[in-house]
A and B are shown apart, each in its own frame.
Chain A
Amino acid sequence: MTTDLDAILGYVAALKDLDTSAVEPMTHAVPFDCPLRPDQVGTSLPIEEALQNAPRREASFFQVPRIVPVTGGAPEDEA
């Protein structure tokens, strides 16, 4: 993997030869203005459907291991 990444980075370095000091970066393939829609409340996914793929859940939440350490200690084992 390291060799592969080195070879690829070596190859892309060829872009350095090209003078682009007068060129604006192109972030989008076709010119467009960000379209706006009326700020209205639409329908959204019901909670049950939004959670149907959760690997772990509790009530209406996605559940992950504890991220806030308990007082004065390291993170506890909990999934």
Chain B
Amino acid sequence: MSHPDVRGLSIAAIADGVRAGKLRARDVTEAYLDRIGRLDRALNCYVLVDAEGARRRADAVDAARAAGRDPGALAGVPIGIKDIFVTRGIETTCASKILRGFIPPFESTVTQRLADAGAVSLGKINMDEFAMGSSNENSSRGPVRNPWSLAHVPGGSSGGSAAAVAASLCAGATGTDTGGSIRQPASLCGVAGMKPTYGRVSRYGVIAFASSLDHPGPFGRTIEDVAALLEVMAGADPLDATSIPAPVGRYRDACRAGQAGKEGLQGVRVGIPDEYFQPGMDAEVEAAVRAALDELARAGAKVVPVSLPHTKYAIATYYLICTAEASSNLARYDGVRFGHRTKDPRTLEELYARTRGEGFGLEPKRRIMLGTYVLRAGYYEAYYGKALRVRRKIADDFTAAFTKCDAIVTPTSPIPAFRFGERMGDPLQMYLADVMTVAPNLAGVPALAQGCGFTRSGLPIGLQIIGPPLGEEACFRIGAAYEARTEWHRRLPPDPAAGAATEVAS
């Protein structure tokens, strides 16, 4: 059987091809399933491949088109679903032992909307357990490897989504971002990803980590692919009380505005915060990001200095709030109604304690303990209450900065991908690597990540474009303008050799 060559294919090319009858959804799906079968042993992106379901969905798209019905904006586009999105009838585990065997009786809003638009889910994607991690080393299913170098981490927590898109094991993917979990892996794997405004995409059916910080969003190879996915995923949802009722933006149009002509950013003010260019940043990362700023200026943007003076408090604020919320959210995993239950507990207390002791990995345990501690009577105001106040100062920084600019441009991660094991021994060092990404989650503002170069050793470097609330269009316009003037997004990692899977200490 001959499949189309899908390596590096964009979502736009697939959807246009299927809608025009030039590509069959079934052939495209088979091509991706074939790649997964050959290459994912080395990368470990998928925790579950739903080949039969994918074929059924692809055939339904082909049948709809043959019958003259609209097959949808994402007709036949094969996507990977981060295992944090609940999928009806398909095991959903958040890469945790405590949810092994959990078959959800309902479907998340995001996956439902993608399916309704004709997208073909290929399966569930690996991640850090309960989305807690920046390297994918916290997955109970083994770490995902970075397609650019199997000895390096793909980032986290949506490391599987980023690696799968980079390696063409799906055309696009869903992720979630609580403190950088879409943008940091996108950056480390050389793909694009967006954390939209808080409430822009429904959280219904997304397993909660820190509810006031959790943002579902898309991954794609190009900015326009990310825009196409977000147009489908976004929008008000009666099942999520925090979803925003405002109409969804025309994100692909914003991309085209940025791509148009020689100076697609004419009249756009790009803010550069000094606080994001501090000692400790990798020299190659800084050089690549500064070169990207020059490119934006050549595209017509006016580069202006802005200040985000409370940046140095962002990590501490973030880890206080996210652990507090996690300790509350993860209380539901008690072995009573679903998921793992310990064998033969004698008392209810033993059932709870042993189930949780056996089911959770080290990082969720660490965060549950920290969160419980900071919420403890007598400590609440000093830790959690304090963090909520500093959170407002950090959000106010963005409000002030956006009076001077239309978007803020920074690196996504101060360092490129690191080696497995390099940071696992010191959780605080691991947390500090999130310095560029956590503040937009605290403020709830949208932020786009995309590639802006490679290190001499061939590892991707990422740019971050932060917009004001509901300012996704500004991010897309700037991102697409940069992409149209550069070639980084066309570079593809080599396919891993068969048998390239190496044991990784974790």
Residues of A within 8 A of B (CB): 1, 4-5, 7-9, 11-12, 14-16, 18, 20, 23-30, 32, 34-35, 37, 45, 49-50, 52-56, 62, 64-67, 75, 77-79
Residues of A within 8 A of B392 (CB): 23-26
Residues of A within 8 A of B389 (CB): 20, 23-26
Q: Once the chains bind, are A45 and B106 in contact (CB under 8 Å)?
A: yes
When A and B form their complex, which 8 residue pairs have the shortest distance between CB atoms, in order from nearest?
A29-B444, A25-B388, A55-B341, A53-B338, A20-B389, A26-B392, A29-B198, A12-B316
Q: Once the chains bind, are B395 and A26 in contact (CB under 8 Å)?
A: yes
Q: How far is the CA of A29 from the CA of B215 in the complex (A)?
A: 11
B31 within 8 A of A: no
Contact of A45 among B105, B197, B365, B369 (CB under 8 A): B105
Contact flags (1/0) for B360-383 with A, using CB distance below 8 Å?
Answer: 001001100110010000000011
Contact flags (1/0) for B333-370 with A, using CB distance below 8 Å?
Answer: 00111111100111110110000000000100110011
Contact of B383 among A12, A25, A65 (CB under 8 A): A12
> In chain B, residues 82-110, which have Cβ atoms closer than 8 Å to a Cβ of chain A?
101-103, 105-106
How many residues belonging to B are interface residues under a CB distance threshold of 8 Å? 64
Q: How far is the CA of A6 from the CA of B283 in the complex (A)?
A: 31
Q: Once the chains bind, are A77 and B427 in contact (CB under 8 Å)?
A: no
Q: How far is the CA of A49 from the CA of B337 in the complex (A)?
A: 12
Q: Which B residue's beta carbon lies closest to that of A76?
A: B346
Q: Once the chains bind, are B317 and A8 in contact (CB under 8 Å)?
A: no
B67 within 8 A of A: no
Q: Once the chains bind, are B313 and A52 in contact (CB under 8 Å)?
A: no
Q: Which A residue's beta carbon lies closest to that of B245?
A: A35
- Given the interface pairs A8-B319, A20-B386, A65-B347, the reply to whether A32 lies near B313 with Cβ below 8 Å is no
Contact of A65 among B337, B346, B391 (CB under 8 A): B346
Additional A-B contacts beyond A20-B390, A32-B199 (10; CB < 8 A)? A7-B427, A12-B320, A25-B389, A25-B391, A30-B199, A32-B242, A37-B238, A54-B337, A55-B338, A67-B347
Q: How far is the CA of A4 from the CA of B425 in the complex (A)?
A: 9
Residues of B within 8 A of A55 (CB): 335-336, 338-341
B45 within 8 A of A: no
Among B335, B337, B339, B366, residue most surrounded by chain A Cβ atoms (within 10 Å): B337
Q: Once the chains bind, are A29 and B317 in contact (CB under 8 Å)?
A: no
Q: Which A residue's beta carbon lies closest to that of B339?
A: A53
B215 to chain A, nearest CB (A): 9
Residues of B within 8 A of A75 (CB): 346-347
- Given the interface pairs A50-B105, A64-B351, the reply to whether A5 lies near B443 with Cβ below 8 Å is no
Q: Once the chains bind, are A5 and B346 in contact (CB under 8 Å)?
A: no
Residues of B within 8 A of A26 (CB): 388-389, 391-392, 395
Q: How far is the CA of A24 from the CA of B389 in the complex (A)?
A: 6
Q: Once the chains bind, are B197 and A30 in contact (CB under 8 Å)?
A: yes
Q: How far is the CA of A18 from the CA of B397 in the complex (A)?
A: 14
B505 within 8 A of A: no
Contact flags (1/0) for B148-191 with A, using CB distance below 8 Å?
Answer: 00000000000000000000000000000000000000000000
B303 to chain A, nearest CB (A): 27
Q: Once the chains bind, are B390 and A18 in contact (CB under 8 Å)?
A: yes
B393 within 8 A of A: yes
- Given the interface pairs A26-B388, A28-B242, A30-B199, the reply to whether A18 lies near B105 with Cβ below 8 Å is no
Q: Which A residue's beta carbon lies closest to that of B441?
A: A29
B287 to chain A, nearest CB (A): 29
B131 to chain A, nearest CB (A): 17
B480 within 8 A of A: no
Contact of A14 among B316, B335, B442 (CB under 8 A): B316
Q: How far is the CA of A14 from the CA of B383 in the complex (A)?
A: 11
- Given the interface pairs A5-B369, A8-B428, A55-B335, the reply to whether A25 lies near B347 with Cβ below 8 Å is no
Q: Once the chains bind, are B319 and A12 in contact (CB under 8 Å)?
A: yes
A28 to chain B, nearest CB (A): 6
Q: How far is the CA of A49 from the CA of B88 in the complex (A)?
A: 11
A20 to chain B, nearest CB (A): 4
Q: Once the chains bind, are B370 and A8 in contact (CB under 8 Å)?
A: yes
Q: Once the chains bind, are B316 and A15 in contact (CB under 8 Å)?
A: yes
Q: Which A residue's beta carbon lies closest to that of B320?
A: A12
Q: Once the chains bind, are B395 and A4 in contact (CB under 8 Å)?
A: no
B469 within 8 A of A: yes
Q: Once the chains bind, are B386 and A16 in contact (CB under 8 Å)?
A: yes
Q: Once the chains bind, are A14 and B348 in contact (CB under 8 Å)?
A: no
Q: Once the chains bind, are B313 and A14 in contact (CB under 8 Å)?
A: yes
Residues of B within 8 A of A20 (CB): 386, 389-390, 393
Q: Once the chains bind, are A65 and B390 in contact (CB under 8 Å)?
A: no
A67 to chain B, nearest CB (A): 5
- Given the interface pairs A20-B390, A53-B338, the reply to whether A29 lies near B348 with Cβ below 8 Å is no
Q: Once the chains bind, are A29 and B443 in contact (CB under 8 Å)?
A: yes
Residues of A within 8 A of B289 (CB): none
Q: Once the chains bind, are A29 and B369 in contact (CB under 8 Å)?
A: no
Q: Once the chains bind, are B199 and A52 in contact (CB under 8 Å)?
A: no
